[in-house]
Amino acid sequence: MSPLRMIYLGLALWGTVHPMYYFITWFGENGFDIMGMVSAWHANAAASGLVWDLTIAAITLTVWILAEVAVRRNWGALIAIPATFCIGVSCGLPLYLFLRTAPVK
């Protein structure tokens, strides 16, 4: 595996574990209340701006993944879409780059 692919994989793992720590901590303090978490994401203008920034980035990444998968027929790369929306762009983007840079067969 190339050093670049190892970096992408490491970033995907970090982008999974680090945000999940905060989500799990929040759920531990507040119970499994998704709507409460969404409300917390919009606690102020700065937080709302960050939420919209990440939402737009996630949608853009999804469009890019779909467009490239349609051309490259790399169906396994579609796993980056649920990773993006269930974990975050911090996982989905490096995961997609890791999958995309796999050696061509």
The per-residue pLDDT for range 45-85, each reduced to its tens digit, is 999 999 999 999 999 999 999 999 999 999 999 999 999 99
Where residue 103 falls among pLDDT bands split at 50, 70, 90? confident
- The SS3 assignment for 79 reads helix
Q: Is the pLDDT of residue 10 over 80?
A: yes
- pLDDT reported for residue 5: 97
pTM of the entire structure? 0.90
C-alpha 77/C-alpha 83 separation (Å) is 11
Q: What confidence tens digit (pLDDT) does each residue in 16-33 have?
A: 999 999 999 999 999 999
Residue-level length of the chain: 105
Q: Compute the half-sphere exposure of residue 105: CA atoms within 13 Å on the CB side of its CA.
A: 3
Query: pLDDT value at position 104?
Result: 74
What does the pLDDT read at residue 26? Answer: 93
